[in-house]
Amino acid sequence: MPETKRLFFAIALPTPLQQEIIDWRATHFPETTGRPVAAANLHLTLAFLGDVTAEKQQVLMQLARRIHQRSFSLTLDDAGLWMRSQVIWLGTRSPARGLLSLADMLRAQAARNGCYQSPQPFHPHITLWRNSASDARLPAPGFSWSFTVNNFVLYESQFIRGRTRYTPLAEFPLEH
């Protein structure tokens, strides 16, 4: 069996925004809500690739470098609870066209190269809590954060000593 890495393409959150969201989470949810995702792990996945060989990683990185797309603004103004996966997430009420087309392209490239296919349609989200209680309360609408997405990132996901760690492997700029 060739060695593989668990990879995904995602949008990173600016560090100050990660902290702002963590502070907001601490004041808007009780601690009993579930298992909070660490600030450094907050991200928005564009395409989950599953376990990928080094060779396939190179192909996917080359294809990602060929994507020509302009930067776009991302607004986080939505939240929800997925009962099945026990996830509470932050999302966007009106996804920018750029966000959807970037995810489409990356997901199509992954599919053409025999990567894992998520059975769910793309629903842009940032996981805030895992193992959430089924009766967890969501904050009232009215929150909103916006930032400009200038690049996207290839991450490796690892589970080390009981902790999930996402390591950025490569960055791909969007056009101004």
Name which of 48 and 72 has its Cβ closer to ligand 2AM.
48
From residue 138 to residue 157, the character string flagging contacts with ligand 2AM as x (rule: CB under 6 A) and all else as - is -------------------x
Query: What's the number of CA atoms in the CB half-sphere (13 Å) around residue 113?
Result: 24
Q: Give CA–CA dist 122/107, Å, rounded.
A: 9
Name which of 38 and 70 has its Cβ closer to ligand 2AM.
38
Residue 86 makes contact with ligand 2AM by CB under 6 A = no
Out of 7, 74, 87, 149, the only residue in the binding site for ligand 2AM (CB under 6 A) is 87
- Strands 87-91 and 72-76, bridge-based pairing: unpaired
Out of 48, 72, 129, 152, the only residue in the binding site for ligand 2AM (CB under 6 A) is 48
Which candidate, 165, 124, 131, places its Cα nearest to that of 10? 124
E strand intervals along 18-150: 35-36, 43-53, 72-76, 78-82, 87-91, 125-130, 145-149
125 tagged catalytic: yes
3-state secondary structure of 18: helix
> From the CB of 169, what's the least distance to ligand 2AM, in Å?
13
Contacts to ligand 2AM by CB under 6 A:
8, 45, 48, 87, 118, 127, 157
